[in-house]
Amino acid sequence: MYNGLKHYKVIIIGAGPAGVGAAVALAKQGLDSILIIERNKKIGGIPSFYEKKKGGVRTFIRWTRGGFPVFGEEYADWLNKKLIKTGAEIRLQSNVIDIESEGKSIVYVNPKEGKVELTADAIIMACGSREKNQAERGYLAGSRPARVLFGKQLLNFLNQGELPFKKPVIIGSDLIAYATAAKLRKAGAQNAIIVDIYNSPKCSFFERLYFRIWCKPDYQGKEVKSIEILGEKVVSGISINGITIPCDGIVICGDLIPNSELALQGSIKVDIRSRLLDIGRNGQLSVPGWFATGNILGGFHGAEWCYFNGAKVAKQVIKYINI
């Protein structure tokens, strides 16, 4: 029936909060034969990149534990412990390179096994999202000289104890941007200038109040229509409304776009312009047996929301495969 391929009841693509939440909920319902595939070398998704360090900035809120903030690495460790208890099989450093939606099959590769093809009764896409690049944002002009980084690239520097610049401009104004400003200030940079095309920041007032413990960024957004990055080999500043703001580094962060490339490749319905999946009730996709959870659904959601959304989608998966 399955062409001799190894078969699972459920395959989950992505081991961030949403993927782990789905695996935990499935296991609690007595489901076995679960495989979770993760392209990184550790469990936890984005939180796993925020290392715990003395004097660092805690940016992940455990709402189920009284709203206590923790380091992303601590949250990822908690996710890992929850996942191990499920008994699910785990493939780390494994990239899904192809899917066949009607047959509910996937192909992944990793250094140890090479190329592997599998099938499942149901597949959950918990692939997360990424920050939009300059072209996708539509309001960023200029080239991309040295010292223009995305959020994850900046984290790599800070985790190694390196501060790539001291006078930063941050493009984007959601929670990710303000968390980035706090991390830069704590690492020794000046208070960042945050720039966006909205009259007020997308980050909520209470979230901004929390980050004032570490930083007091200057927000520039009123009547901004476009932002030009200045500099040839190395960034020298930005230009907004004809005014030059000098800086020695830029972080482009927030403003997320779903990682829906696999779905598009497998003929699952995706809106080409927004990259949003065509999602039915409770995470069901356009092809039966395929589901989505977490930040791949669009917009920005915290780790706790993604974890419980994964659990919610798992209930629909259980109904689908008639456990």
Bridge-based pairing of strands 243-246 and 237-240 is antiparallel
SS3 133: coil
For the chain, the straight-line distance linking the first and the last C-alpha, in angstroms and rounded, comes to 19
Beta strands in 33-161 (DSSP E): 34-37, 60-62, 68-70, 89-91, 95-100, 105-110, 114-125, 129-131, 140-141, 148-150
The reply to whether the predicted model has a pTM over 0.85 is yes
**Domains of the chain with bracketed CATH:** 6-130+256-321 (3.50.50.60), 133-252 (3.50.50.60)
| AA identity, residue 274 | S
d(CA 127, CA 70): 23
DSSP string, 161-221: T----SSEEEE--SHHHHHHHHHHHHHTPPPPEEE-SSSS-SS-HHHHHHHTTT--PEEE-
Q: Across-strand partners of 291?
A: 124, 284
Q: Across-strand partners of 70?
A: 60
Task: Determine the pLDDT at residue 305.
Answer: 94
Q: What is the pLDDT along the chain (323 residues), one digit of tens a residue?
A: 335 689 999 999 999 999 999 999 999 999 999 999 999 999 999 999 988 888 788 988 887 777 788 999 999 999 999 999 999 999 999 999 999 999 999 999 999 999 999 999 999 999 999 998 888 888 999 888 999 999 989 999 998 889 999 999 999 999 999 999 999 999 999 999 999 999 999 999 999 999 999 999 999 998 898 999 999 999 999 999 889 999 999 999 988 999 999 999 999 999 998 899 999 888 899 999 999 999 999 988 889 999 999 999 999 999 999 85
